[in-house]
Amino acid sequence: MTEPLILFTHPACLDHDPGTGHPERPHRLRAVLRALEGSDFAGIRKREAPLAEIDQIARVHDADFVRLILDSVPTEGRVQVDPDTALSPGSGQAALRAAGGACAAVDAVMGGEAKRAFIAVRPPGHHAETARAMGFCLFNNVAIAARHAQAARGAKKVAVVDFDVHHGNGTQEIFERDPSLFFASSHQWPCYPGTGAPDERGVGNVVNVGLAPGSGSVAFRQAWERQILPAVDDFAPDLLVISAGFDAHADDPLAQLELTEDDYAWVTEKLMAIADRHAKGRVVSALEGGYDLRALAASAAAHVRAMMA
């Protein structure tokens, strides 16, 4: 029987601790998991995210970089890998569970066990480039999922769409020269990390839409309806992967877009329709940002509810 949705997570993802006062904190994941325990989600099957194999990560990242990150994990205290990104003793296991959850989610969806999968993990991944950890991200979980679908599961074309308020520079950098992959992002502009201008188009496989600070539902929905959704539809992926960051919510402290939970439900419904048309419904969604606990929990719940519909 095909499950409507499998949730992949692991307690080790709570042990990545970038430090007191850091917005990307373990409570984020607790808040999301608690929200998904409501009666709306009784149909969800929960699975432990396995540890990724190094080879799965090395399809995306330089093997030397993967080793450097894992070898840098301290036995106590913290090691900074960029001004925003720190390793704590639990970070290596958390990052391996996050990437492993991404691959297991692809296996479940491409193997017909589930129609959709949501990966509730941290650290997030979309800022991580081929050989660079940055912006709270160590390994690029969605890119690892896309490459795993192609290398191990026979997918020819994989699309990643990213509605996190920050541009997914890492995913773009990994995808931009490969026409079998597609990347589209809406994000606040200007904002961290500074990439994501509309003229960054890869080999015609990248779509970037910047939204001015203060933009809300109308501008967001227009961007998706007019630019991103038609491009994903044209690309006709075999698998749709979502970088699901919820920091464009009006209550989020890190940026100034004004989205509501309803906007996340809306965009998710539109994406499910495209997946149903081209990809036999197959969708893998991975948690990225979202830093106000209440807004994050409510937005993730709206997203997952729409994935199950």
Catalytic residue numbers? 127
CB of 289 to Zn ion, least distance (A): 3
> Which CB atom, from 191 or from 229, has the smaller least distance to Zn ion?
191
**Is 196 a residue that touches Zn ion (CB under 5 A)?**
no
Residue 73 or 207 with smaller CB distance to Zn ion: 207
Nearest to 90 by CA among 142, 29, 45: 29
Any idea of the CA torsion for 219, 160, 162, 105, to the nearest 10 degrees?
130
Cβ proximity to Zn ion, 220 vs 235, nearer residue? 220
- Compute the least distance from the CB of residue 222 to Zn ion, in Å: 21
Which CB atom, from 164 or from 263, has the smaller least distance to Zn ion? 164
Name 8's bridge partners: 47, 119
Site for Zn ion in 270-289 (CB under 5 A): 289
How many Å apart are CA 111 and CA 250, to the nearest integer?
Answer: 38
Instruction: List all residues 6 or more positions away from 30 whose beta carbon is below 8 Å from its beta carbon.
Output: 14
Work out the number of other CB atoms within 10 angstroms of the CB of residue 180.
15
H helical segments located in the chain: 26-35, 54-57, 63-72, 91-110, 141-153, 169-175, 217-223, 229-235, 261-278, 293-308
The site that binds Zn ion (CB under 5 A) totals a number of residues, namely 5
User: How many CB atoms are closer than 10 A to CB 110?
Assistant: 22
Of the pair 202, 289, the CB lying nearest Zn ion is at 289
Q: Decide if residue 90 touches Zn ion (CB under 5 A).
A: no
- 116 and 282 Cβ atoms separated by less than 8 Å: yes
Contact 218, 261 (CB under 8 A): no
Q: What would the two tokens of residue 107 be?
A: 């296996």
Question: Closest separation between CB of residue 288 and Zn ion, Å?
Answer: 6
| Nearest distance, CB of residue 4 and Zn ion, angstroms | 28
* Binding region for Zn ion (CB under 5 A) out of 25-33, 105-113, 139-147, 239-247: 239-247
The answer to whether residues 100 and 292 touch, using CB atoms and an 8 Å cutoff, is no
Among 247, 252, 258, 292, the residue binding Zn ion under the rule CB under 5 A is 247
Nearer to Zn ion among residue 247 and residue 292 (C-beta): 247
Tokens of 155: 């997918």
Instruction: Show the binding pattern over residues 289-308: x = contacts Zn ion (CB under 5 A), - = does not.
Output: x-------------------
Q: Helix (H, G, I), strand (E, B), or coil: what is residue 121?
A: coil
Q: Is 276 exposed, middle or buried (0-12, 13-18, 19+ CB in 10 A)?
A: middle
Site string for Zn ion, 145-174 (x = CB under 5 A): -------------------x-x--------
Asked if residue 245 binds Zn ion (CB under 5 A), the reply is yes
State which residue has the least CB distance to Zn ion: 289
Give the binding site for Zn ion (CB under 5 A): 164, 166, 245, 247, 289
